[in-house]
Amino acid sequence: MKRICIVLSILIALSGTLLFAAGETEQTTGSSVIIRVADNMPGLITPGQWNGQAFSLNSSVYDYPVVLDPDTGELKGEVLSSWESEDGLRWILTIRQDIVFHDGSTLDADDLIFTLERTQDSTVSHVKQKDFEIIESVNKIDAYTVEVVLKEVRPGFIYQLSDYNMAVLSRDYDYSALGETSPMGSGPFTVQELVNKEYAHLVAFDEYWEKGFPLSDEVHIYFVSDRDTALSMLINGQVDIVPFITPIMKQRVDSHEDIYVTVPYTEQRFLSMRVDAPPFNDNTVRLALKHSLSPTLLARGLNLELGSQFYYSEGPVMETQSQFVQTGPRKRDPQKARDLLKQAGYPEGLTVTLTYAGDHAFNQAIAQSIQEQAKEGGFTILLKGYPRDIYFSQYWMQVPLSITTWGGRVDPAVLLSLAFDSRGVWNESHVKDPVLDEIISSILTEVEAGKLDMLYRELQEYFYDVGPLINIQVPYLVALTSSISGYTQPLTMLPVYKYIEKLN
């Protein structure tokens, strides 16, 4: 018995030791105004390498050359005080003179040049390398002015500088060694502590160039891999903001008076038909599928309302963008769909596999709704949902029918050149039509607004008639406590925490 007692005593002593060992010494916060966020678990977070999971952190730590004004939808300068180009080929970018990085160094022309040239640095594997290949040269005019010369005319080039991977970085900071552990920029908040895979503790940057901002003292970001757990934290009062929830999750908070849900922007899901192989190389089949689907039923299947948070079109421009042209709606007509299939040589109907990333919000529900609706139109759709890495590495751009998540581009022309041009690197429908190439090329180089509007109309009519795409636009939902006001997150996906107010 004595020996048993000894063993049990050792175990209890060991647990007591661990109790104190687990208690790391950290400073507790006083009466500061703290914004608490339960965000997604990030992957790589260094600008140029991150894969879109660290929006709260990066938008707070870094500044961007230009940002999208969520109220007007127009670009406004952040690091840039102004920009100009007469021909869309030579750009003059002027930098504010009052910006300093968190390490105290001044942000000037050399930092902007470093940021732009870094996109082409092969050791970085910059995700925007293709987008910025168009730059011929970057030249320093003076300490705060940079000249960018492009290889081709690009009136919309400036929009590319609002991308979430284009934060302005310090030329003197070693981002390859420190970017993942000690992010350093010139943004409204500095990193006090970053515990990888757990949390980020940000505090207001005293020398931030925009005087009077940020409005809060600290931002606490919890990295939570499970969205339901994140929502539980909100319900429990442990956080104030939970980005990226689904409509089903929204139902959990609908009964909570102190929680509301906002839709800062919409995302796109492309139902893409591969046109270089049967069966979708025949436009009759594409039309048959389009006639099988009802936007209203699709919206209902996602617990959404058509026209407010859910949009549906057959072109690549989002309904919320100024370039959008109404070409539909096409009436759902399953009988016509069956007739078209018969005409295309499928009198008994057509069986096709729909492949998608099942772990992206809405994709599974969209796929099931399409499967159900298309059945009446003579389509037997087999569903194959995969984790997103498997989808993108093994199936994307290979399969006849797919659903892919596409973030909205501030300038739709950027997306057109990537996804629908014959030479586009992510031409998932494999469309290679000189007519479409010509329209896209004209859009990319057109300077005059009136002509550009005409080109966008022509583009969207083309897609309505023969396009390989159904564009389903779904809301990006964010749940917040009622104490939070001023939450904004434009199409660039970067939430702006510096303007958020928290009422106690």
Partner 1 sequence: MNSYLSTVFSKVGSLLATLLVISLIIFSLVELMPGDVAQMILGQSATEESLRELRQARGLNDPFFTRYGRWITGVLRGDLGDSIYMQGVPISSILWRKVGHSLFLALTAFIIFVPVSIVLGVIAGVKEKKAADSIISFTGLATMALPEFVSGVILISIFAVRLKWLPIVSVIPIGQTLFQNLDILILPALSITFVMFGYVSRMQRSSMIIVMNSDYIKAARLKGLPERYIIFRHALRNALLPTITIIGMNMGWLFGGLIVVETLFGFPGMGSLLMTAIKTRDVPLIEACVLLITVIFALSTMTTDLLYGYLNPRIRFKGGQR
Q: Residues touching partner 1: how many (CB under 8 A)?
A: 73
Contact 33, 217 (CB under 8 A): yes
Using CB atoms within 10 Å of the CB of residue 163, give its burial: 0 to 12 exposed, 13 to 18 middle, 19+ buried: buried
Selected from 390, 441, 461, 466, the binder of partner 1 by CB under 8 A is 390
* 503 near partner 1, rule: CB under 8 A: no
Q: Which of 423, 432, 439, 420 is nearest to 133 (CA)?
A: 423
- Token pair, residue 186, equals 């010139």
Does residue 72 bind partner 1 (CB under 8 A)? no
Kindly tell me which residue out of 209, 392, 462, 464 binds partner 1, with binding defined by CB under 8 A: 392
Is 248 an interacting residue with respect to partner 1 (CB under 8 A)?
no
Sign of the alpha-carbon dihedral angle for 226, 231, 236, 241 = positive
Measured from the CB atom, the residue of 139 and 394 that comes closer to partner 1 is: 394
Residue span binding partner 1 (CB under 8 A) among the ranges 102-110, 362-370, 389-397, 495-503: 389-397
Question: Which segments of 358-436 are extended strands (E)?
Answer: 379-386, 401-406
Residue 504 binds partner 1 (CB under 8 A): no
Between 22 and 503, CB nearer to partner 1: 22
276 is a site residue for partner 1 (CB under 8 A): no
Closer residue to partner 1, CB minimum distance, 213 or 386: 386
Give 143 or 178: the residue with its C-beta nearer to partner 1. Answer: 178
* Sheet order of strands, 80-84 included: 80-84, 90-95, 145-150, 135-142
Q: Could you tell me if 168 and 80 are in contact, meaning their C-beta atoms sit under 8 angstroms apart? A: no
Closest approach, Cβ 345 to partner 1, in A, equals 35
Q: Which residue, 27 or 504, is less far from partner 1 as judged by CB?
A: 27
Separation CA 97–CA 102 (nearest Å): 15
Q: With contact defined as beta carbons under 8 Å apart, do 46 and 179 qualify?
A: yes
x-or-dash string of contact with partner 1, 195-224, rule CB under 8 A: xxxxx-x------------------x-x-x
Indicate the residue type of 417.
S
Q: How far apart are CA 452 and CA 459, in angstroms?
A: 10
454 is a contact residue toward partner 1 (CB under 8 A)? no
List, in sequence order, every residue forming a beta bridge with 200; answer none if it has no partner.
194, 221
Query: From residue 9 to residue 38, what is the string marking binding to partner 1 with x (rule CB under 8 A)?
Result: --xx-xx--xxxxxxxxxxxx------x--
DSSP assignment letter at 106: B
Three-state secondary-structure class, residue 278: coil
Q: How far is the CB of 198 from partner 1 (least distance, A)?
A: 5
Residues 400-439: x where in contact with partner 1 by CB under 8 A, - otherwise, as a string: ----xx-------------------xx-------------
Nearer to partner 1, 366 or 439 (CB): 366
Judged by CB under 8 A, the stretch of 225-233, 326-334, 439-447, 490-498 that binds partner 1 is: 225-233
Distance, CA of 373 to CA of 271 (rounded, Å): 14
Binding track, positions 158-187, relative to partner 1; x by CB under 8 A: ------------------xxxxxx------
Contacts of 114 (CB under 8 A, 6+ apart): 169, 170, 171
At closest approach, how far in Å is the CB of 268 from partner 1?
A: 12
Count CB atoms within 10 A of the CB of residue 114.
18
The correct pick among 9, 97, 125, 308 for binding partner 1 (CB under 8 A) is 125
